[in-house]
Structure 1
Amino acid sequence: GKHQRADLGTLRLNIYYTSDHVFSSQSYDSLRNLILQSTGVEPITSSVAWLLGEVVPQKQDVVQPLTRVFLHHGQVVPFVSAFARHEISKITDTNTIFRGNTLVSKCIDELMKLVGHHYLRSTLKPTLDLIFRERKPCEIDPTKLQQGESREANLTNLKEYISLILKAIINSALNCPPVMCQIFSELKELANTYFPNEREVRYSVISGFVFLRFFAPAILYPKLFDLTTEQIDSSTHRTLTLLSKTVQSVGNLVSSRTSHHNFRESYMREVFGHCVTDKHVE
């Protein structure tokens, strides 16, 4: 008996204990007021919100409370607008606008999670549920096909799911939460102001968030976004990966306007050509 128990091995636990002391709301009045005044500070880099983003080691630790404070007090739009204006004014390469994990980019990500969950769920869940229910093979990489699989049949399956996903996203525009719409409107106006001669920028600043940082990650990791409780097998995960890649491609207007040769995987070019049409891009 002792020998059998020893064969089970050992378990090492690394436990962290955090004690947070929360005081009454009035205790934070001064700090809260300083934070809320950040949008009117010039230069913005002297504001409390900006400085918190610089001094806190883990940016996410400051992104969550900042976004919640400004959202609660109805000032999240001017907050994002002020910080986005500063960031976009420093841009020299329009392909990199809001593509990094800056304070304002992460705050917009956090905002979309806070106010956009129902929107995300109502838009994607019906198609994701269908994928989990049918579990059709969609592998189109010739080197990864299982024995007996047909690439043509898999491509047909993938195109069907892509069409459903894109249709759901396109038709969901009127359901987008008002706060998100206001943020995107501000970003579009900033793009018009700073890049008046580059028409695509006014759309890419929005699509970068909507497609690349909102829909695509949720398709790839539906459990993390509370879109399913299903056990996802390797074949289905591969389907989600291909769908997510495609949604990113549609959202990336810079790539969609260029040659298919810029697509890293050659086997994706056919899918790319199927979904990135003038209808989808416009």
Structure 2
Amino acid sequence: MKLVIPLLHYSCSPTVCSGLRVVDYGGLKLKDNQTLLLLVSEVSNSSEVGKLPIDTEEKRSKEWLEMPCGDGMLSLKFTLWQDLLKGMNSVFHGQVRVDIDENWKLGPAKWFYLRPKGQEETDGGKVEEIGEITLKTTYQVDHILKMQYYKPLLDLLYQSGEVQPLTASLVAVIESLPKVELTPISRSLVELLAQTDHIRPVLSSLYVNSILKCQDENTLFRGQSLSGKMLFEMLMTFGKMYLISTLKPVIDRIFKERKNCEVDPSRVLAGVSVEKNKINLLVYFQMLYEAVTSSSANCPHIIKELLYDLRKVVGEHSERPGVQRLAVSSFIIMRFFAAAILNPKAFEVRKDLPDNRVSRTLLLLSKLLQRLSNCSVSDGPLSSKEIWLNGVFETVTSTEHKTVMASFLDNISLAGDRVDPQRCTVFKFGMLIQVDRNRMRWKRVLQAKRRYVQLTSTEISWQKDAHCPPKGIILLTDIKSVAVDNKHIITIAADPLPIQFEAPGVVEANDWYCAIEKQRNRALHGDDDESENYCTDAERHVDRIHALLFKYRDTMVEWRDQLQSDTEFDEKTPELLKASYVVERDRQAHKESLIATLCATIDVTDAIQRAHEEYEKENNEAVKIEEIVPETSQK
């Protein structure tokens, strides 16, 4: 694909300045009365920017741009813009880096390609292919039925927290199906159950399964289980903004300062002080430690309730006092805070990836936080494979540090047995530009109203910054519509007047649109039927679970028949059927309840599949009729 090809003319003087101008350009699609502006800066000093206007009629610059020129090679960066002022049809045409050395004394005119050409002729006259992409696409049509067909399956999911014993519930069956990818299923279950009264008992039933199957309490909830996947999805759904607001200030500082924190002697370069690096690491750790341990008051109430249920279930099945904190720590520290420190981009704490030095610092900090958490919940001494970290470990796992960490784990998981004020869950926040159509255009551009916008479970508010009082609040139930245009402006229609915000780009605008619509839907349908009171696409999520169950229908039939026939179990028999992890006095009740669950699940799955087949049959007949009608009309 051939793109912009501007011609830049250079004249480097032997003294301390250089002059340049544009002689010609080609390949640009411009409209009348538009301005081209070339921004020029030194690669080593991007703050010094020169601006060179280009006449679009004559295709050249009428003036020379003079810039200081240092000794040796000069590296310049050229960026070409059309209508530079933001909000006035600004277009970025591309940029290029140009190195000018002493051999280029006369500064001859040259063509520079802001973007690569599709083809280029070589010295032999042959056309050299830059490259090509072959793209193969496929599509799949999913037939999603109305909720009335899925309601029986949804009721079975809701009842999973009430089945006795809990080991025979439908979610226990789903977890035991062979080779099931639990992540998408857990996401669908969370979407369907998140804001209903069923999420806590269903998760509690899965906690019981995980505890009974665990062979070593020290590794409790460390494996891949449906309970772990679902609780992690809940943490990310309701706690993402809590996570970002807690970690971002410290991680941003680490990215900015880039201090050397390497304490492994084998990795430290000659002449670098390990002690100084150790001090840098401990300073950063103290900042993260204080940010995490003082954040329990900001944690969403629903997360505290789920962690309270986890702690309660563990306490009922274990006599060790530290195991309760261990279970809480395995989620809130290991999978949440420590994982986000290790990979801030994946958890949306940062938009950019860290370089090697920052990445190494984040890895060490994540290890230190995990070590402190483990020490605060473990009764015995912990081993260490990295001996060079032992000195740092001793510092961060002092009695004071362990006491504060244990107190944090208690504060974040004991909301169920005391009065704890509920806080609105923050689902999204960030800086946007408030758009005022009544202001003059130059004021909208040069005096843009930057606003800190925050979306909660009940409202959307905006303020000058995070510490100022709100300048405006709109309840989600008062919003009539939300729209995004091609200039990434978000329009929120509500009484008495609509409000508009401009996002930095298309992706950010769509993210805000989806987040607002999702929470608005939840707020508007809060009193409706539980199957549709929060999820914008509930039918699709139930259908995903149905598709999984129908895929393993023969397996469930085999399990049912095996239980009903009282055949002997062998080594290949699934643990769900043998129920060796269930107390012996409860195994008969488990068997009878599991048979009932399997029978009900098979019947519901078959009914939904018949509805699918009937729909496809009617759809195919309608297509045939549409094909016959044109042929008849032609005759």
Task: Answer yes or no: same fold by TM over 0.5.
Answer: yes
Secondary structure class of the residue paired with 1:143: coil
Corresponding residue number in structure 2 for 1:268: 389
Q: Are 2:338 and 1:189 aligned? A: no
Q: Distance in 1 between matches of 2:132 and 2:378?
A: 52
Q: Distance in 2 between matches of 1:255 and 1:147?
A: 39
- What is the aligned counterpart of 1:140 among 263, 272, 277? 263
1:223-275, CA deviations, whole angstroms, 9 ceiling, x for partnerless residues?
Answer: 01110123411000000110111111122248865446x11111111111111
Q: Distance in 1 between matches of 2:183 and 2:370?
A: 23
Residues 1:45 and 1:89: Cα distance change in structure 2 (over 3 Å): closer
Which structure carries more relative contact order (alpha carbon 8 Å, separation 6+)?
Answer: 1
Q: Are 2:339 and 1:217 aligned? A: yes
Residues 1:156 and 1:69: Cα distance change in structure 2 (over 3 Å): same
Q: Which amino acid aligns with 2:204?
A: S
Secondary structure class of the residue paired with 1:129: helix
Residues 1:5 and 1:73: Cα distance change in structure 2 (over 3 Å): farther
Q: Distance in 2 between matches of 1:102 and 1:16?
A: 32
Instruction: Output the aligned Cα RMSD.
Output: 2.2
> What TM-score do you get using the length of structure 1 for normalisation?
0.90
Q: Distance in 1 between matches of 2:140 and 2:167?
A: 31
Residues 1:9 and 1:148: Cα distance change in structure 2 (over 3 Å): farther
Q: Distance in 1 between matches of 2:348 and 2:157?
A: 31
- What is the aligned counterpart of 1:98 among 221, 226, 244? 221
Q: Which amino acid aligns with 2:174?
A: L
Corresponding residue number in structure 2 for 1:110: 233
Residues 1:16 and 1:50: Cα distance change in structure 2 (over 3 Å): farther
1:6-64, CA deviations, whole angstroms, 9 ceiling, x for partnerless residues?
Answer: 4x566565756444333333332121111111111123343222222333721112111
Q: Distance in 2 between matches of 1:156 and 1:59?
A: 42
Q: Distance in 2 between matches of 1:270 and 1:10?
A: 55
Contact 1:249 1:272 in 2 (8 A): yes
Q: Distance in 1 between matches of 2:154 and 2:294?
A: 39
- Structure 1 range deviating more: 167-176 or 79-88: 79-88
Secondary structure class of the residue paired with 1:74: coil
Contact 1:212 1:252 in 2 (8 A): no
Contact 1:220 1:240 in 2 (8 A): yes
Corresponding residue number in structure 2 for 1:172: 295
Q: Distance in 1 between matches of 2:212 and 2:263?
A: 42
Residues 1:255 and 1:137: Cα distance change in structure 2 (over 3 Å): farther
Q: Distance in 2 between matches of 1:51 and 1:164?
A: 44
- Structure 1 range deviating more: 64-73 or 47-56: 47-56
Q: Are 2:348 and 1:226 aligned? A: yes
Contact 1:222 1:228 in 2 (8 A): yes
Q: Distance in 2 between matches of 1:19 and 1:148?
A: 63
Corresponding residue number in structure 1 for 2:203: 80
Q: Are 2:24 and 1:24 aligned? A: no
Contact 1:249 1:255 in 2 (8 A): no
Q: Which amino acid aligns with 2:146?
A: S
Residues 1:14 and 1:97: Cα distance change in structure 2 (over 3 Å): farther
Q: Distance in 2 between matches of 1:263 and 1:215?
A: 21
Contact 1:220 1:237 in 2 (8 A): yes
1:95-152, CA deviations, whole angstroms, 9 ceiling, x for partnerless residues?
Answer: 1211111111111111111111011011101100110111111111111113432111
Q: Which runs of 5+ in 1 are unaligned?
A: none
- What is the aligned counterpart of 2:400 among 267, 279, 282? 279
Q: Distance in 2 between matches of 1:163 and 1:253?
A: 16
Percent same amino acid among aligned pairs?
Answer: 32
- What is the aligned counterpart of 1:199 among 301, 312, 321? 321
Corresponding residue number in structure 1 for 2:357: 235
Contact 2:248 2:349 in 1 (8 A): yes
Secondary structure class of the residue paired with 2:266: helix
Corresponding residue number in structure 1 for 2:98: none
Q: Distance in 2 between matches of 1:16 and 1:220?
A: 36
Residues 1:29 and 1:252: Cα distance change in structure 2 (over 3 Å): same
Contact 1:53 1:62 in 2 (8 A): no
- Structure 1 range deviating more: 22-31 or 119-128: 22-31
Residue pairs, 1:58-69, within 5 angstroms:
58-69=181-192
Contact 2:375 2:397 in 1 (8 A): no
The structure number with the bigger radius of gyration is: 2
Corresponding residue number in structure 2 for 1:89: 212
Secondary structure class of the residue paired with 1:63: helix
Secondary structure class of the residue paired with 2:180: coil
Corresponding residue number in structure 1 for 2:366: 244
Q: Please state how far the C-alpha of 1:74 moved relative to its aligned partner.
A: 3.1
Q: Distance in 2 between matches of 1:134 and 1:142?
A: 22
Q: Which runs of 5+ in 2 are unaligned?
A: 1-120, 404-635
Q: Distance in 2 between matches of 1:212 and 1:174?
A: 20
Q: Distance in 2 between matches of 1:71 and 1:114?
A: 9
Q: Please state how far the C-alpha of 1:92 moved relative to its aligned partner.
A: 4.0
Contact 2:186 2:226 in 1 (8 A): yes
Q: Distance in 2 between matches of 1:19 and 1:30?
A: 24
Q: Are 2:273 and 1:150 aligned? A: yes
Secondary structure class of the residue paired with 1:99: coil
Q: How many residues align?
A: 279
Q: Distance in 1 between matches of 2:137 and 2:270?
A: 46
Residues 1:194 and 1:141: Cα distance change in structure 2 (over 3 Å): same
Q: Please state how far the C-alpha of 1:193 moved relative to its aligned partner.
A: 1.9
Q: Which amino acid aligns with 1:161?
A: Y
Q: Distance in 2 between matches of 1:141 and 1:255?
A: 27
> What TM-score do you get using the length of structure 2 for normalisation?
0.42
